[in-house]
Structure 1
Amino acid sequence: MKSKRHRAILDVINSEIISTQEELAQRLRDRGIEVTQATVSRDIKELGLFKVPVSKDESRYAAPGESAPHPVPDRLRRLLRDTVTHVDYSLNIVVVRTLPGHAHAVAAAIDHSQWTEIIGTVAGDDTIFIVVKPVEAVEGLVDKITGWLNEEEER
């Protein structure tokens, strides 16, 4: 029973932002696993879970070995606004142009953003190729990136 519960906990924290023990207990109950807050607390210790920042005011549980917070929008937005010069796309490839020497940092932030529609990135000195799946998600991704770039102009 304990190993089943531990697997369920890891599944929940990897698929959702869980900030409190009570939220975690409720998600387990939703899956048919009856637990108390005390049991969840013990499980968190046994699994070695820790909290990572999601935003300035929010954190979530993460498993050991997880290197980056789930979403990194603040850092990514800042990097995009400070370094990106142009965004375009063709089919399922988004091309992002940056100031010279900045493409790797932006690509790494995109990779760690864990956006489900992004398969991966390839970065040169000032150009990033973002491979997107499905093709229908490309325009939404481009709109998100250009929207963040335009935020600076509106300030």
Structure 2
Amino acid sequence: MKTERHAAILDIIQSKDIETQEDLAEELRNHNIAVTQATVSRDIKELRLIKVMGANKRYKYAANTRANAVQMERLVRLFKESTVSVDAASNLIVIKTLSGSANAAASVVDAMHITGIIGCIAGDDTILVILKEVSQVESALQQFKEMMK
């Protein structure tokens, strides 16, 4: 639920000028996501949103790309340090990790937004990545292997 709400918030602030927490809460409700002002406030902190000057000379919420870049760098390092192997079969990729690391590594897979991935499932030490087309597997596989270097 929280992940979906965070994704919705990022989509909303990219497509609309959102000036206040109340505006953001209203937009989330318009997207059928029930929230309180306190929840929106926590989400803003967790997403590290900042206020920037909009074209209309009014401040609006925006994603802090520097914070996102630092966070992604940490996630990639975590993926590299915890991944043991990557292999493919048909339209599936199986990523083996150190015990207890699959969920964290799967969050990197999700954050990469690799073309063709329609979902991934993480266990304790294994991630199953499902791609829409077999033709997309090799490209995704190469991206994972590159991250392991």
- What TM-score, normalized by structure 2, do the two folds share? 0.56
| 1:134 matches 2:149 | no
Deviations 1:107-155 (A, max 9, x none): 1221122223221110110000011123211111111111222x2xxxx
Give the corresponding residue for 1:86.
Answer: 85
Q: Give 1 or 2 for the bigger CA radius of gyration.
A: 1
Q: Which runs of 5+ in 1 are unaligned?
A: 1-6, 12-37, 57-68
- What TM-score, normalized by structure 1, do the two folds share? 0.54
Deviations 1:5-55 (A, max 9, x none): xx9x618xxxxxxxxxxxxxxxxxxxxxxxxxx861536x2x433433353
Q: Secondary structure at the match of 1:88?
A: strand
The letter for the 1-side match of 2:85 is: H
Change (3 A) 1:39 1:80: closer
Q: Separation in 2 of the partners of 1:110 and 1:77?
A: 9
Q: Separation in 2 of the partners of 1:40 and 1:99?
A: 48
Q: Separation in 2 of the partners of 1:98 and 1:50?
A: 30
Large movers: runs of 4+ above 3 Å:
none
Give the corresponding residue for 1:51.
Answer: 64
| 1:10 matches 2:15 | yes
Aligned residue-pair number: 100
| 1:42 matches 2:42 | no
Q: What's the C-alpha RMSD, in Å, of the aligned pairs?
A: 2.5
